[in-house]
């Protein structure tokens, strides 16, 4: 793809902001989300680098036989109780149960967790509560139970509607189970997301488009389309499968985006498409550099204070996490983000949004003046990767296609 020619807008043309601020410029905390990690899954997929652990749980068996569900919920509650003072009085705008496979947990466990969340923290009246589910672990009674517990959005890991590709990806479900799960989810929840992947082993453009056509015909409120990537420390990375070449993968991306636009899906983030007003609130908070408290094995947090922004991580292994959480030592590492790192971290999130963000959001979220990024912004403009218009900073179409190259310009 040939680069378009742009005339960079001088950084001085940006509307003046307040004088150079230290992190004491963080006068108002950003919106706050809660992430809850459930680390077990039935089978570890060969492309997955998330913190997940095989439960050796067979569908239909009591999960307690293969992983300590009740004890893990105890640990989550203990973790949350200790973390609550850090966010005292701040309303939670969204909750996300991720994994692993959260749908391995019973509705009773999810209800118990959410009940304690409500007791310990105030929720916004329209808080989004998402739970990830694997089509191979779907149970009608559980779906109803999740909804009764307070889950109002379900995210299904479909990945493909083609049995051959599902097998190549190591998924535990087949095409029929995918359809059954989506049908049940759409009947039970107002908000449903389906994850679909492309660029799969030996996948043709025709087959990728067939998956996309099937997805839009099912008409969920939200679709996420991800290109398969080979992540370090995964079986696929160690023994790479035969993947489509770059040109074919690029054609898949372009044609999928066209198809979704034709079916009224707004492409609002690198891999996310939504019907009008149905964007994922939880993920939007990440991409707008909001705050999030993460509890559970390996969970991460980002929390802002009047003079600093901190990150925290929990112990990754479930057993270690449970032991430490119940001893009041869930946090394994904590550090402050330096001023030099904040520019890159802010852009790494916000430039995933196709419409960009207001210029003044940088100071609101970091306490720093955006002129600190003047050199990087000028370079990005000159390369046609970034534009500044109507008080917003946003990636061009070229910047969206070459996001990694754009972000590298903000590395100190």
Backbone angles phi and psi of 104, in degrees to 5: -75, -25
Q: What is the pLDDT of residue 60?
A: 43
Q: Which two tokens stand for residue 156?
A: 């299904």
Q: How confident is the model at residue 141 (pLDDT cuts 50, 70, 90)?
A: confident
User: Cβ of 269: how many Cβ atoms within 10 Å?
Assistant: 20
Q: Read off the pLDDT of residues 87-123 as tens digits, 9 standing for 90 and up.
A: 999 999 999 999 999 999 999 999 999 999 999 999 9
Closest alpha carbon to 394 in 358, 369, 364, 344: 358
Structure tokens at 173: 């479900």
Which tens digits make up the pLDDT trace of 60-91?
A: 445 445 789 999 999 999 999 999 999 999 99
Which pLDDT score, from 0 to 100, does residue 58 have? Answer: 47
CA-CA distance, 201 to 245, in Å (whole number)? 10
pTM of the model as a whole = 0.91
Alpha helices by DSSP H, listed for 84-204, are 107-120, 140-149, 163-168, 175-188
What are the structural domains, with CATH classification, of the chain? 11-20+343-408 (1.10.10), 32-287 (3.20.20.70)
Question: Counting beta carbons within 10 angstroms of the beta carbon of residue 331, is it exposed (0 to 12), middle (13 to 18) or buried (19 or more)?
Answer: middle
Separation CA 37–CA 52 (nearest Å): 9
Confidence of residue 56 (pLDDT cuts 50, 70, 90): low
* Residue 353 CA to its chain's centroid (Å): 13
When comparing pLDDT for 330 and 51, which is higher? 330
17 or 159, which is more confident:
159
Average pLDDT on 309-322 reads 96
CA 134/CA 170 separation, integer angstroms? 13
pLDDT score recorded for residue 307: 86
Backbone angles phi, psi at 133, to 5 degrees: -140, 145
Query: According to the model, what pLDDT value does residue 91 have?
Result: 96
Identify which of 113, 120, 121 has the alpha carbon closest to the alpha carbon of residue 96: 113
């Amino acid at each position: 793809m040939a680069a378009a020619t742009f005339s960079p807008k001088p950084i001085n043309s940006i509307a003046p902001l307040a004088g150079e601020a230290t992190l004491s410029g963080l006068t108002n905390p950003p919106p706050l989300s809660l992430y809850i990690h459930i680390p077990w899954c039935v089978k570890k997929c060969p492309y997955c680098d998330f913190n997940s652990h095989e439960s050796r749980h067979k569908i239909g068996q009591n999960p307690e036989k293969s992983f300590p569900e009740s004890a893990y919920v105890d640990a989550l509650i203990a973790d949350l109780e200790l973390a609550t003072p850090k966010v005292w009085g701040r309303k939670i705008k969204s909750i996300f149960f991720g994994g692993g496979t959260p749908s391995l947990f019973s509705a009773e466990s999810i209800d118990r967790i959410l009940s304690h969340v409500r007791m310990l923290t105030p929720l916004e009246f329209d808080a989004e509560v998402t739970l990830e589910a694997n089509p191979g672990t779907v149970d009608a009674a559980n779906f109803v139970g999740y909804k009764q517990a307070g889950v109002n959005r379900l995210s299904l890991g479909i990945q493909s509607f083609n049995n051959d590709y599902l097998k190549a990806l190591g998924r535990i479900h087949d095409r029929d189970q995918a359809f059954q799960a989506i049908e049940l989810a759409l009947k039970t929840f107002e908000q449903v997301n389906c994850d679909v992947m492309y660029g799969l082993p030996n996948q043709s453009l025709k087959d990728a488009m067939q998956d996309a056509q099937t997805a839009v015909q099912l008409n969920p409120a939200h679709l996420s389309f991800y290109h398969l990537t080979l992540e370090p420390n995964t079986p696929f990375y160690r023994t790479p499968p035969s993947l489509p070449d770059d040109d074919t993968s690029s054609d898949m991306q372009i044609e999928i985006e066209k198809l979704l636009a034709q079916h009224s899906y707004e492409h609002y983030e690198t891999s996310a498409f939504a019907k009008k007003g149905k964007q994922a609130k939880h993920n939007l908070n990440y991409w707008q550099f909001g705050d999030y408290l993460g509890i559970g094995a390996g969970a991460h947090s980002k929390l802002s204070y009047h003079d600093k922004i901190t990150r925290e991580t929990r112990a990754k292994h479930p057993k270690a996490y449970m032991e430490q959480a119940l001893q009041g030592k869930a946090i394994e590492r904590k550090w402050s983000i330096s001023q030099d790192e904040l520019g890159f971290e802010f852009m790494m999130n916000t430039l995933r949004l196709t419409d960009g963000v207001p210029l003044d959001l940088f100071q609101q979220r970091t306490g720093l003046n955006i002129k600190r990024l003047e050199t990087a912004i000028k370079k990005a403009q000159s390369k046609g990767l970034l534009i500044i218009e109507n008080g917003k900073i946003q990636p061009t179409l070229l910047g969206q296609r070459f996001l990694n190259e754009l972000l590298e310009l903000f590395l100190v």
